[in-house]
Structures are given as structure tokens and as C-alpha cells.
Structure 1
């Protein structure tokens, strides 16, 4: 027993140090200077985290002006995150999407509206049964103009529903593309139980309530 106590004390010490280090690294991400992604071939990019990226990818691809939605990880402090590592909640990353869009067709403001209209805005650290920091809601801004758009829409929504909006607001730093099998998951796996019972119902709820002039006939 006397030998066990020092080992336990040492383990607790390292555990506390790791937690403190993680918090320090996460704070550095939150307080960083945003990185702006340049427009390329007339297409801009925006980044959002809103629960499982399988769901969010399909939602954004239903919006006119969105060329592609790519699943990945963002908002954390580790390099080269994987699905397995992200799911531990210890990388700081959330499942996120990279939205490639034509800013002449759809505005960043509309993409933020899509974001808030397609989720449970009051749920902390998750959406539905997908729970944990890796499923938390985050809007990423690349410049001060985008930050103000996000903050104003978030504040207006909080006032409208008289509730706290769970989504965090981060300066964009880097997007890590997820493994190939996660890409276009809904399209490639239409009969998967998760897609049938979670992704498609979430997409349909969004489409039923969002202004039709912004939505494609199919995606």
C-alpha cells in the first residue's frame, strides 16, 4: 500500500499537468490572430463545426452557391488529428466542415444563417446523441468583418429565443481534412442506419424551415 500511494500521487500530478497544458494550448487557439483563406478561382472558403460532420456536409451542399463541403477537424491544438484521436476529446478539435462557395451567389451571412438554422443552438458539446467536445458547435471567422457578422447574428438569435447560444466563436487557424471514407458520407452510404435515422431527418428539418430561394432542388 505504501508503494502504491507515491505512484498514485505521481499519476495525479502528471494528469493535472496535462490538463493545465491542454487548457493553455486551447486558450492560445482561441486567442490567436485569424488566418484568412484567399479566394481561389472565384471560390471562397468558410469553416463551421456543428456536431457530426456527416450531417453538416449534406446540409451545406443543399445550399445554392455551395460547390462542395469537406469533412475534417478544426479548433484544436494537435497536429494531424485523426478520427480516433479526435473522438477522445483530447485534441481540442471539433468535427468541422470546409465550405467551398461562390461569394457572388451566396454570402457569408447566409452561410451563418444556415449554420444556426440547422442545429439545436442551445445544446452544449454536441448535437442530439452525439456528445462530447469533439461535437461542439464552433463558428470560425477569418477577419473582423466575419467576426462581427457572427457575433451580431448570435446575439440576435439569443435575444429572439431568450436563451444562451452554445456555439463558440474562434479565429480560424487550420482545417485538417478527414479520412477519405468520411467524405460525401451521406451520398455514398445512403442506407447506413445513422444516415437514415439522424443525418437525413436533420437535413429534412433544415430544408423544411429555411427559405426555399436559397436551396437546391436536390443535392
Structure 2
């Protein structure tokens, strides 16, 4: 059994998020400006493939962009971020209508879309680029994040306490085009089917009341 577990772990590391498309040098995706009345939020919780899918399924969210934030390097590439030389984490930038969904609800969804109790790790993905990180743009958003963290910790939804970084937003850089919507266009990728999909399915159960109708099937 131990040999089988080690073999499975090795396979998952090979097909992990950082190994999904190395060498692909597609152009960087554009960073859209929010539409009139829209707000923007940025969260990082491991591989952005599943996080982006989870967030786009929420009512009130119009679009998401996979990208990088939290570091110092300007316009980083996927390879640079994966080499952990930039300080950035893989993140998802979310464009939403605050009249339909609140920042607090987005924050709660974020904590259910990944495991915020594991330091610099999400499943087979290990490193600071996979750290759990939440950005705030206003003092009110900072207070909201701290409040939601306390709420989730108090419910004992997770056995261990949340270790998510709560930091002020500085800059967001969109990832390469091929990362955008990757979850839906690469279902045959072993990483998607074995790691990302179970996370999305778990997210749907936790946030059922907040999902768009098409994801309630």
C-alpha cells in the first residue's frame, strides 16, 4: 500500500499545475477594466485552474482572470513564477457586481474553494507560489477578511486553523492566454480530473445557494 501511495503521489506531482504546460510561451492575457458598477477582488489558493472555475460559477461574478500577484517582479511568466524567483503566487482576479454578491461572500467562497490551512501547499502542489493569500483594497475589505477567517475557524470546518496571508493589493499580472478557462478546455488532463475537479465539486456543495443556475445540476 505504501508503494502504491508513493507511486500515486509521484504521478500527481508530474501532472501538477506547474507541470501542465511548461514550455508554452503563449502571449499574456489582457487585464480587463471593470465595467460600470463592478468591483474587483483578488485571491490565491493553489493552482489557479480550479480557483478560477470555482469563482466564475458564483452568481454576480461576470468574469475571472488567472494571473500572478503578491511578488515584486513585473510582468512575470508562468515559468518564472513556478521557479519561485518572483515572490508571486498564482491568483484569480474576480470581477463582480456588489449588488448581487458581497465581498464577504466572495471571501467565504474563497475559503471553501481550497484548503486555507496548509502553508505553501495545495495537494500535490508545493511552494510559495501556491500559498493561500487574500488581498484587500480598502480597510473595510481587510476587516471583512479577518472577520470571515474568524467565522470559518469558529465553525471548525477545518481541523486546523487558517494560515492565509491577508495583504494589501499592489499589482496583478494576467497569466498566459492558455491558462484562462483551462479547467473547462482540458478535462482530459489527469491533473484536472484527479485534483481540480474534486475541489470544484466540493466547492459546489459548500456554496450551492450562491451558484449560477447552470451549476446546480
Q: Quickly name the TM-score band, shorter chain normalised.
A: 0.7 to 0.9
TM-score between the two structures when normalised by the length of structure 2 = 0.79
Runs of 4+ in 1 over 3 A off after TM superposition: none
Number of equivalenced pairs: 181
Q: Which runs of 5+ in 1 are unaligned?
A: 1-37
Q: CA deviation at 1:190?
A: 1.9
In the alignment, structure 1 residue 216 sits paired with structure 2 residue 212: yes
Match of 1:165 among 162, 167, 175: 162
CA distance in structure 2 between the partners assigned to 1:200 and 1:186 by the alignment: 8
Which residue in the other structure is 1:54 paired with?
A: 49
SS in structure 1 opposite 2:101?
coil
What do the CA deviations read for 1:83-124 (whole angstroms, capped 9, x no partner)?
A: 000011121100001101111111101000101112112111
- What is the DSSP-based 3-state SS (H/G/I as helix, E as strand, rest coil) of the residue aligned with 1:100? strand
CA radius of gyration, larger in: 1
Q: CA deviation at 1:196?
A: 1.1
TM, length-normalised to structure 1: 0.79
Q: Please, which of 126, 150, 155 is the counterpart of residue 131 of structure 1?
A: 126
Q: Please, which runs of 5 or more residues in structure 2 have no aligned partner?
A: 1-32
Matched, 1:90 2:85: yes
Instruction: Give 3-state SS (helix, strand or coil) of 2:151's partner.
Output: helix
**190-199 vs 110-119, greater mean Cα deviation:** 190-199
